[in-house]
Amino acid sequence: MGHTVREKKKLVARVRRIRGQLEAVERALETETGCAEVLQLIASVRGAMNGLMAEVMEDHIRMHVVDPASDPDPERAKGAEELIDVVRTYLK
């Protein structure tokens, strides 16, 4: 079973929240809300998308590359944990 299937409910909930945020951007544009508020809404959507991407990438690394929690090679486990940390940092 793939990690996106195993985490399906949680991931779909995140996507639905992102959809709500996108709809807020659309409403703000339709009602001619000030540009500063629209930019803030867009930044929120971007952050939410990056969070979703980071979560799926982390799960992918753990499921298909190496799971640091179960790898018997300590150097490989450390490298995998560092990669996960870099992905999280990059997508913040």
Please name the residue that has the structure tokens 């590359």.
65
Domain containing 17 — which CATH number? 1.20.58.1000
Domain count within the chain: 1
- Give the residue from 41, 40, 62, 60 showing the smallest Cα distance to 52: 60
> Which residues span the domain enclosing 11?
3-90
Cα 32 from chain centroid (whole Å) = 29
Per-residue pLDDT of 43-82, as tens digits, reads 999 999 999 999 999 988 888 888 888 889 889 889 999 9
Q: Residue 23 corresponds to which tokens in the numbers above? A: 């709809």
Per-residue pLDDT of 12-24, as tens digits, reads 999 999 999 999 9
